[in-house]
Amino acid sequence: MIVTVTLNPAVDHTLAIPDLPEDGEIARTDDARVDPGGKGINVSKYLVELDTETTATGITGDFLGQFVRDSLTEKGIDSDFVDIEGRTRLNTTILTADSEYKINHDGPAVNGHAIETLLETIERNDPDTVVVGGSLPPGLGPDAIDRIARAGDWQTAVDVGGDVLRDLDASYTLCKPNREELAVATDCSIDSLEDCYDAVERLQTMGYDRVVASLGADGAIMATPDGLLHAAALETTVVDTVGAGDSLLAGVLAALERGATDEEALRSGVAVAAQVVSVPGTTVPPLDDVPTRLGSVPVSSPEPFSQ
């Protein structure tokens, strides 16, 4: 059982218009959608498609928070959120013919009482693994994530910003940075794959048993207790990279939940991500053929671990 925690979820409002309007003009569109958003929520979406038991939790508020909960129910995703007086944030993306504009709210202020209730909620769901993903809302610092990691007899994985990775003090089963987050967390310049190898090793010594770094066209690397693994990206037609990192993490965690080896889990993550980037936006594609693609994912053991 995997519980995902989104401390600062959002309603993602995406709309497309040909061009930005001039001052005083009105732009109209019939191409708009709203979706529940947040890294933990996204991971749960992919886990459900991978037939892995999951419950999404976190902190929501007001009518936008209700929209998040109702939307997950409609998608067949179990949820158990803590409701507060503030309002869940609304993030807007405006797509034009040649540009993309994002307007993100900070989110509601969260206090210690909400975290206490959240810890009780997580414990009630009796998880094997807890995944904390996304940004921190006003009022919370990295210590809130440390409290989650230390609160129960579960494994904890994190997918958070590089600055937060750097400041966490508890021990974690896994973290999932991208290239930029890896650089920030380790204060390393990353200009090559070799730089990535060095950075994941350094991050591993900071309290993470495994580091899974998503590297886009360069695939993904995993630092494990036994060494380093690099999986090349599968050839696919890339339509949209939204969700690539979240789906990679879901694929890895789903495999580990089934008792897979680290190499098998990395293959699973890369295969899932390849499926996801082949569809637009936040669409969750069918993932039932992922097991048939695992053998197609090239995995190597870079130096010095291959010596």
306 has a pLDDT exceeding 80 = no
Q: How far apart are CA 249 and CA 243, in angstroms?
A: 10
| pLDDT, tens digit, 9 for 90 and up, residues 249-266 | 999 999 999 999 999 999
How far lies 267's CA from each of 13, 76, 177, 203, 259, in Å?
33, 26, 17, 21, 14
Check whether residue 107 and residue 195 sit in a common domain.
no
> Using CB atoms within 10 A of its CB, is residue 203 exposed (0-12), middle (13-18) or buried (19+)?
buried
Q: Is the four-CA dihedral 59, 1, 142, 218 of positive or negative sign?
A: negative
Residue 145 counted as domain residue? no
Check whether residue 172 and residue 262 sit in a common domain.
yes
Question: Encoding tokens for residue 141?
Answer: 């610092």
Check whether residue 125 and residue 197 sit in a common domain.
no
Per-residue pLDDT band for 86 (boundaries 50, 70, 90) equals very high
What CATH code is carried by the domain that includes residue 53?
Answer: 3.40.1190.20
The answer to whether 75 touches 48, Cβ cutoff 8 Å, is yes
Does residue 90 sit in helix, strand or coil? Answer: strand
Residue 129: CA count within 13 A, CB half-sphere: 27
304 has a pLDDT exceeding 70 = no
Average pLDDT, the chain: 94
Indicate the residue among 90, 116, 133 that finishes a domain. Answer: 133
Which residues belong to the active site? 246
* Range 201-223 average pLDDT: 96
277 has a pLDDT exceeding 50 = yes
Residue 191 counted as domain residue? yes
> How many domains, the chain?
2
300 has a pLDDT exceeding 70 = yes
Residue 155 counted as domain residue? no
Residue 144 counted as domain residue? no
pLDDT for position 282:
72
289 has a pLDDT exceeding 90 = no
pLDDT for position 42:
95
Indicate the residue among 95, 117, 133 that finishes a domain. Answer: 133
Per-residue pLDDT band for 236 (boundaries 50, 70, 90) equals confident
Residue 113 counted as domain residue? yes
* Range 230-237 average pLDDT: 90
Residue 73 counted as domain residue? yes
* Range 270-290 average pLDDT: 86
**HEC letters along 119-150:** HHHHHHCCCCEEEEECCCCCCCCHHHHHHHHH
pLDDT for position 255:
97
The answer to whether 184 touches 166, Cβ cutoff 8 Å, is yes
| pLDDT, tens digit, 9 for 90 and up, residues 144-163 | 999 999 999 999 999 999 99
307 has a pLDDT exceeding 50 = no
Q: How far apart are CA 167 and CA 286, in angstroms?
A: 37
238 has a pLDDT exceeding 90 = no
Residue 138 counted as domain residue? no
Check whether residue 167 and residue 255 sit in a common domain.
yes
Indicate the residue among 114, 133, 152 that finishes a domain. Answer: 133
Domain of residue 66: give its range.
Answer: 1-18+33-133
Mean pLDDT lowest among 11-25, 49-63, 144-158, 271-285: 271-285
pLDDT for position 208:
98
Check whether residue 127 and residue 173 sit in a common domain.
no
pLDDT for position 305:
47
Check whether residue 98 and residue 184 sit in a common domain.
no
58 has a pLDDT exceeding 70 = yes
Check whether residue 109 and residue 186 sit in a common domain.
no
Check whether residue 4 and residue 87 sit in a common domain.
yes
Check whether residue 190 and residue 267 sit in a common domain.
yes
Check whether residue 127 and residue 167 sit in a common domain.
no
Q: What does DSSP assign to residue 191?
A: -
Check whether residue 210 and residue 277 sit in a common domain.
yes
Check whether residue 198 and residue 257 sit in a common domain.
yes
| pLDDT, tens digit, 9 for 90 and up, residues 101-146 | 999 999 999 998 999 999 999 999 999 999 999 999 999 999 999 9
Residue 110 counted as domain residue? yes
